[in-house]
Amino acid sequence: MNEQPIPAYLNLVQSLLTCADGEEANLLSQNRELVDEGLVQTMVAVAQQYREAGRENEA
């Protein structure tokens, strides 16, 4: 995992979940420094939390 702070990953995940359809690639491009194993691990953790909370559509 990169040394990026966890809040940066969480902010990017939240932005990806709430952005307009089709804007995901632009967000990822603007945040290339966060596109790494740490982001993937954060996405998996957030998806698991959503599943456990019954928010399957968002997971």
| pLDDT digits 0-9 by tens, 15-31 | 999 999 999 999 999 99
Structure confidence at residue 2 as a pLDDT band (50, 70, 90)? low
End-to-end C-alpha distance for the chain, whole angstroms: 22
Cβ-proximal residues to 21 (8 Å cutoff; 6+ apart), any chain: none
Please tell me the total number of residues recorded for the chain in this structure.
Answer: 59
> CB of 47 within 8 A of CB of 13?
no
pLDDT digits (tens, 9 = 90+) for 34-49: 999 999 999 999 999 9
Residue 19's pLDDT is 97
Structure confidence at residue 13 as a pLDDT band (50, 70, 90)? very high
Residue 58's pLDDT is 76
